[in-house]
A and B are shown apart, each in its own frame.
Chain A
Amino acid sequence: MHKEILESYPKNDKSTLIPLLQDIQSVYGYLPQEAINDIAMHTGLSRSRVYGVATFYNQFRLTPLGENIIRVCRGTACHVKNSANLLYSLENTLKIKAGDTTRDKKFTLETVACIGACSIAPVITVNDDYYGRITTKDIPNIIKKYQGKPKTEKQTKETVGA
């Protein structure tokens, strides 16, 4: 799958690393180990260097995304409205840390700096749905809503790629 992308880039050109990583991530939704090895071969960089760059930037993921992506806003307004508590509650309920994906691959939990919906702080989003002015008590119900839900259209497209 990513082989075609690699071929569209010149060989042994170290400066193509970041665009390559971006393009390949757009295919899989993350950077599989195999792709990192192939990128290293193609660019003439060492595997350790490619892995180093991929882990340096927040935009790159090394693990597949879950079916549902929960984003907790940690911007100033939400912070004042105690979004830290929402994050802890989500981490405890899902039994993962921010940035991780649950074992059943249902949920990925992320934090974002500001979603831009400060008027309804504190906010979390699940996929494209917004939940504002919520408290920790609402968390179990929100999660329950997505537990059995089939994949949304956008994610289906991404996972088909893999």
Chain B
Amino acid sequence: MIELTINNIKVKAEDGMTILEAAKSVGISIPTLCHMKDLVPSGACRICSVEVEGYRNLIPSCAYPVSGGMVVDTNSPRVRRARKTIVELLVENHPQDCLICVRNKNCELQDLSERYGIREHRFAGESKAHAVDISSASLERDPAKCILCGRCVRACHEVQKVCAIDFTNRGFKSTVTTPFNIGLNASDCILCGQCILVCPTAALREKSSLKTVSTALLSKEKYTIVQVAPAVRATLGEEYHLPLGTDVTGKLVAGLRRLGFKKVFDTNFAADLTIWEEATELINRIQTDKPLPMFTSCCPGWVKYIEHNYPDMLKHVSTCKSPHEMEGAVAKTYYAKKLGISPKDIFVVSIMPCTVKKFESTRPELSEESHPDVDAVLTTRELVRFFNIAGVDFADLGDDQFDNPLGESTGAAAIFGASGGVMEAALRMAYFKLTGNHLENVELEQVRGLEGLKEASFYINGKEINIAVVNGIGNVGPVLDDLRAGKSKYHFIEVMACPGGCVNGGGQPIHQKTEKVMKRMKVLYDIDKKMSNRRSYENESIKTLYKEYFKEPGSHISHEILHTHYHPRGK
């Protein structure tokens, strides 16, 4: 323990703590921009500068460790002047279009400008002019709004290890961009959107599909169907100031109905369906000596990553479409037939916690007779904007139920949104299929939580099954390298590109704290716990679906509609 003084307050701090952390522990707030929790400090932005007695220069508190007897002033006139100047310089080189900006009222630069009372332009000068990169289906990059804090670069390099963007050029000309400044669509970016979650301004944002969706809703020819991913119900409440970890499923359904969708379905239904197909594929692979381990294919970011970086390993990826694509495919085949509507008149919208899903829905192979399985994808953030435009007062909505038959689901489907969930759900089903017995203890604690790589072994029918859960695409490299070297001992591996799984997806409400992720996961695990049916094979609607249409998992017709294939993509 070390004792120091911050703003005349005696503070006890642990050895190795930074001044920023010590100040925070006694309720002193220091602004930060480039600082990222859990990563090595970079000290680039200087906004967290404080004055320390005996030091000539101001000290960046995010990067400086405390020492005994230190006397710190975080609020001296000199500190305030320095911070104000930094903010003024950033603001002057920033397009001041806050009123029409997507991050209006949710922007760290705006907050700082407010906090330090910037009321005039002191440094009018040349400002950056850059083209907006709208090339990708998922993300937009607006370098003019970039304040070069470097958080996206660090999320991309140090957390996700995709390394799609980096600082280029120098001084006034510096920008964060792709190699050779090409569009994101042509780069090896996996579009996971973790950069959006850390961006303090609107320099990185999702590409909005709101216009397409509202046009479809107004069209008389279109039969609009909406589906909601499991992770959205665990986070949407945050945008309406409901307590962290509130389950808003009922309100969400009611809100979507108010927007005018003809049917409100649940992606959880297709998650159960995915488990039927994927567990069958896994068992088939184990029994017939086909390539093992098998990787899950629910996460389109992960699929894009392996297509770019390890194309020789693509045979290990399950051929199952991701759940929302399956839901769309079922809606445009089985359900269309049932309704007597042509698939071209059905418009499927997915509400997703994810930015890559937008790209995924444009993949040509994910379509039925040239109609895309999913016509448009909205992120959680876009849905909030849609509710606002439509005058839906979310907090006051009553609870409503999903429509059937594509709305029934089991507890196993709900946990898809948390890292380890797909694995857990698949094992519940695989155990039953292999042994004929129900797995009694369905909660597999080994695959829950926030570690980067979670491993477990099970004995099913006397055979050892080794599984792994990769939490965050940054942890997948070693697993794939082992596999390439022929050293992999696993049978089944789940990969989710975003750390924590879909609850922390790139389309979720913007935050920077990991504690939120655990609370969001808990919502999904609680939904699972409350369900009477917790195993995908107990879903009655799916049993009917197979009886009436697909015959059995892995049948010819299910391969045509519920499975897909992958392409190697260049680096």
Contact = CB atoms under 8 A, between A and B. Distances in A.
A51 B180 contact: yes
Given A33-B180, A48-B178, A56 B163 contact: no
Interface in B167-224: 167-170, 178-180, 188
A120 to B, nearest CB: 30
A46 B168 CA distance: 13
A2 interface: no
B10 interface: no
Nearest to A45: B163
- Pick from A33, A48, A56, A57 the residue with the most CB of B within 10 Å: A48
A56 B170 contact: yes
A33 to B, nearest CB: 6
A51 B165 CA distance: 10
Contacts of B179: 36, 47-48, 50-51
B571 A49 contact: no
A52 B165 CA distance: 9
Contacts of A127: none
A37 interface: yes
B168 A55 contact: yes
B164 interface: yes
B73 interface: no
A48 B165 contact: yes
Interface in A49-76: 49-52, 55-57, 62
B262 interface: no
Consensus secondary structure, chain B interface: loop
Given A33-B180, A46-B157, A51 B163 contact: no
A152 B571 CA distance: 38
Contacts of B169: 55-56
B322 to A, nearest CB: 27
B166 A51 contact: yes
Contacts of A49: 157, 163, 166
Contacts of A57: 170
A46 B163 contact: yes
Nearest to B175: A55
A48 B188 CA distance: 10
Interface string B134-166: 000000000000000000000001000001111
Interface string A29-42: 00001001100000
A46 B170 contact: no
Contacts of B178: 48
- Pick from B180, B188, B571 the residue with the most CB of A within 10 Å: B180
Contact of B571 (A37, A52, A55): A37
B163 A52 contact: no
A55 B173 CA distance: 10
Contacts of A50: 179
A57 B169 CA distance: 8
B168 A52 contact: yes
- Pick from B157, B164, B168, B179 the residue with the most CB of A within 10 Å: B179
A56 B166 contact: no
Interface of B: 157, 163-170, 178-180, 188, 571
Given A33-B180, A48-B163, A51-B180, 18 more contacts: A36-B180, A37-B571, A46-B163, A47-B179, A47-B188, A47-B571, A48-B164, A48-B178, A48-B179, A49-B163, A50-B179, A51-B168, A51-B179, A52-B167, A52-B168, A55-B168, A55-B169, A62-B180
